[in-house]
Structure 1
Amino acid sequence: MSTLKSQRSRKDLECTSLATAYQRQFVGELKQRVVENGEPFVVAQADTPHEIFHAMDIPLVTNQWWSAYISAKQLSERYFRVMEEKGYPGNSCKYCSLGLACTLANDPETAPWGGLPAPTVLVARLTCDCVQHVFSQWAEALGTDFFPLEAPAWESKDGQWFKRSNTDWENVYQEDRIKLLVDEMHDLIVLLEKKTNRRFEMEKLKTLMVRINEQETYIADAARLIGEARPCPVSIADQMPNTMIPQWHRGSDWAVSHAKRFRDEVAERVRQGIGVSSNEKIRLMWIGAGVWHDPGFYQALEEKLGAVFVWSMYMPFAGPQYIRDLKGRPMEALASRICSMNEVLHLPPWMNGWMTAEAERCGIDAAVILLPPENRLSQSGTLITKFALEEAGLPVLGINGDMVDAKSWDHDRMVGLVADFLESEGVK
């Protein structure tokens, strides 16, 4: 077996380098504000109302981004080993707990930024049992507060939710669930104001929400263009940074202008007939979070087999889950965006209904699903989604691997699994 763990990805778009350069600058400024200047800041899960923190100008470290950052520096294996040495189970959910592992390792020499200082508060939705344990123990280790947000059952089981989510969000996501989250957001604001001496202003949130709608419309346009174009103009190695980096800054002047720049560059590549592969034959769908420790995985078969990863969840998710008709109710519109974010990405019938429709929209020939052995939420809906895609006529390969833990990942072996699968299924 090859000992090659990972490979770098190829970036084709000019705006990708602009996005990564902006993010490097932002990370430096964030580190200065948080570590050097000691400003109050928040650590929060991706499916929490970041807009509240942005509106209050409170620096934010997103847990999933922090995990990807640590993983990209090839530190995850070391930190998870420390967790096991401290008595934590080896099968803990890796994506949510890598930040905790870094804190418990308590090794400023290796940790990014020398390790996180104590945040003002940690915030997470209780989407699975382990989240409460991870964040409670992380808050204890850092000596700060944990503010949990409830994740009540979603009684509406409409697998076609994405067709009505922009305008009919009160009914799609249920008024009672929206109201609960709005009440919790008000409580969170009270806590933040008390601990930071910064004031929340509704007008700032309204402005931010309008700008986010503009940003997400550009990203949705790019997703539509990529789905329609033959050949695929942009691989997911470019899609992910040009979607996710602006999402961490959503609603800012930079994020809105960058989303437009990305959309325009995609449109120009479509106009010129530029493809990411010189001989595109197979259009692939990637289901799951990114493999942050091996970004080159997605491009390994583009020339050899003409197999192009056309789709991942990050970019097409922008249209149905972020764009909202505000209806003069910005807090409620925000709550509708947040209150089912994990559900539509990971749980049936919402996950499989949306992804099956997306496969048809993009002309997908086969799908590859990441199955993180210890990530319970990521496992919950993936098998049902696999069955749904297969019922729709698509071959589906599930591969055991983790988005941030590189311990069991080998680049050549994983690429070989995909190649063998495509050959055995006769996908061409």
Structure 2
Amino acid sequence: MSRLDAARAATQHQKAWFAETARRARAGDPIALVNADAPHEVLRAFDVPYVVNQWWASIIAAKRLGPASMRKVAEAGLPDHSLQYDAMPLGAQDLPVEEQPWGGLPDPAFAIADSHGDVTHKIFEQWGRRPGTETYQLSRTGADPVPPRWWELVPREWETAFGTDRLDLLQGEIEELIGWLEERTGRRFDEDRFVEIMRLANEQAEWNRRTRELLAQARPAPVLVNDTIPAVMVPQWHRGTQWAVDAAHRLHDEVAQRIEDGVAVCPGERRRLMWIGRGLWSDLDLYQRFQEEFGAVFVWSMYLAIAADGYVRYGPDPLRALAARFVGLTDLLYVPPWSAEWYVKEARTHGVDGVVHLVADDTPGGGFISEALEAEGIPVLEIRANNADSRSTDAARIPERIADFLRDRVPARG
């Protein structure tokens, strides 16, 4: 099965972009290291390039440098067995430059994250102790009560979905971040550019939604999950640019064409699987490994689905809309009942026969998600491991357990 052109183009673009970003940084321009759920659009309005911590961890893991990076974390006197996905880039920074992927990450001027849990907070504190790097941390809040069917509310009724107090706090902190960046960069926040960034980000999300709807209805699956992940996520890290909109449009059209042409990644498709959790970056081939023997195809990952449902925000105040984009993003993916209800909805619409649920140590609500799916008659295999740390995933015996799960709990279709 040939790869998606959209996936190849996204990967090539990211390599060229990273090379140019590294060149700019080494010439003296500031760059930022940011968590996935930080308000990236602010940095884009300042023309400050940013590298997403989790994306860089995925590259480190894919290059099989995860264990070496975590050894550097341990040598610094820090735990190497907790939130490796977040901590791995910190360790990789101390590897010899010739061993680092893509020529290495230049030291960032800024490290920006939200304070979700003690560990991530401490990891970004460590970045701020490195020469030339300053840390800025935003608050993490929770909601009570939680509205049902959040995916219908968040595009326009986000005040109802998340609550005024939460939005007030994050909007105020984003405004403080803007002032903080103005002081350190000597640049002014370009409000007109920011409005355009938000418009383009919404347009990109709408293309992702259309693509997700195509794939939800397609039988058999016309694309590989390990193709849609880079085709969706690389443009996500360029959200608010015309290139990212065009990339999302390109992915949609390519998927639509494959469906029209009757393409099937597994012509003998007999079991449709859902992968809940972060991508298994050290072994992306895993997602194809069960097609020949079991006719089992992974038809869903959170990356396209959350890009479709979780990011679009319309409203007259673009700064408040940005706060609404990020104030509850982690809730939607990991915190029941937000997450559990959404995963059940996605499993139903995609015709899923079984779920492989990779539960990380910072997602304590994982058991409730699995219970909600089992209650719908959808069998779930829970695997507790860190997605980026091959030491953890090897110990979890993931391929063997999935094979046993398919034999014992996921009946083949007709």
TM-score (norm 2): 0.95
Q: Say yes or no: does 1:308 pair with 2:297.
A: yes
**Alpha-carbon contact 2:35-2:54 (below 8 Å) kept:** yes
SS of corresponding position for 1:122: strand
Q: How does 1:158-177 map to 2 (within 5 A)?
A: 158-177=147-166
Taking the aligned partners of 2:148 and 2:160, their CA distance within structure 1 comes to: 14
Taking the aligned partners of 1:159 and 1:131, their CA distance within structure 2 comes to: 29
Q: How does 1:220-259 map to 2 (within 5 A)?
A: 220-259=209-248
**Alpha-carbon contact 1:286-1:309 (below 8 Å) kept:** yes
**Alpha-carbon contact 1:31-1:113 (below 8 Å) kept:** no
**1:47 corresponding residue in structure 2:** 37
Q: Say yes or no: does 1:26 pair with 2:17.
A: yes
Q: Say yes or no: does 1:76 pair with 2:60.
A: no
Shift of 1:347: 1.1
**1:386 corresponding residue in structure 2:** 370
Taking the aligned partners of 1:355 and 1:322, their CA distance within structure 2 comes to: 16
**1:16 corresponding residue in structure 2:** 7
Q: Say yes or no: does 1:352 pair with 2:358.
A: no
Of the three residues 88, 109, 129, the one matched with 1:98 is 88
Structure 1 pair 279/100, CA: closer, same or farther in 2 (3 Å)?
Answer: same
Taking the aligned partners of 2:143 and 2:66, their CA distance within structure 1 comes to: 34
Of the three residues 249, 264, 269, the one matched with 2:258 is 269
**2:202 corresponding residue in structure 1:** 213
Residue 74 of structure 1 aligns to which amino acid in structure 2? R
SS of corresponding position for 1:322: coil
Unaligned stretches of 5+ residues in structure 1: 1-9
Amino-acid identity (%): 37
Of the three residues 177, 180, 187, the one matched with 1:191 is 180
SS of corresponding position for 1:262: helix
Structure 1 pair 365/426, CA: closer, same or farther in 2 (3 Å)?
Answer: closer
SS of corresponding position for 1:303: helix
Structure 1 pair 19/384, CA: closer, same or farther in 2 (3 Å)?
Answer: same
Taking the aligned partners of 1:129 and 1:167, their CA distance within structure 2 comes to: 32
**Alpha-carbon contact 2:339-2:369 (below 8 Å) kept:** yes
**2:391 corresponding residue in structure 1:** 407
Residue 405 of structure 2 aligns to which amino acid in structure 1? F
**1:340 corresponding residue in structure 2:** 328
Shift of 1:96: 0.9
**Alpha-carbon contact 2:384-2:396 (below 8 Å) kept:** no
Shift of 1:352: 0.6
**2:381 corresponding residue in structure 1:** 397
Please provide the CA RMSD for this pair: 1.7
Taking the aligned partners of 2:396 and 2:297, their CA distance within structure 1 comes to: 17
SS of corresponding position for 2:275: strand
Taking the aligned partners of 1:232 and 1:177, their CA distance within structure 2 comes to: 39
Q: Which is worse superposed, 403-412 or 182-191? A: 403-412
Structure 1 pair 46/415, CA: closer, same or farther in 2 (3 Å)?
Answer: same
**1:370 corresponding residue in structure 2:** 358
Structure 1 pair 194/258, CA: closer, same or farther in 2 (3 Å)?
Answer: same
Residue 33 of structure 2 aligns to which amino acid in structure 1? V
Of the three residues 298, 317, 342, the one matched with 1:329 is 317
SS of corresponding position for 1:367: strand
Q: What does the per-residue CA deviation read over 1:330-378, in whole Å, with 9 as the maximum and x for residues that have no partner?
A: 0111110101111111111111111011101111100001123xx32x3
**2:403 corresponding residue in structure 1:** 419
Residue 180 of structure 1 aligns to which amino acid in structure 2? L
SS of corresponding position for 2:205: helix
Structure 1 pair 115/260, CA: closer, same or farther in 2 (3 Å)?
Answer: closer
**2:192 corresponding residue in structure 1:** 203
- The structure showing larger relative contact order (alpha-carbon pairs under 8 Å, at least 6 residues apart) is 1
Q: What does the per-residue CA deviation read over 1:92-130, in whole Å, with 9 as the maximum and x for residues that have no partner?
A: 210111112223x35323223664443222111111111
Shift of 1:272: 1.8
**1:65 corresponding residue in structure 2:** 55
Of the three residues 129, 145, 154, the one matched with 2:143 is 154
Structure 1 pair 234/412, CA: closer, same or farther in 2 (3 Å)?
Answer: farther
Taking the aligned partners of 2:410 and 2:171, their CA distance within structure 1 comes to: 50
SS of corresponding position for 1:284: strand
Structure 1 pair 28/411, CA: closer, same or farther in 2 (3 Å)?
Answer: farther
**1:124 corresponding residue in structure 2:** 113
Structure 1 pair 11/57, CA: closer, same or farther in 2 (3 Å)?
Answer: farther
**Alpha-carbon contact 1:166-1:325 (below 8 Å) kept:** yes
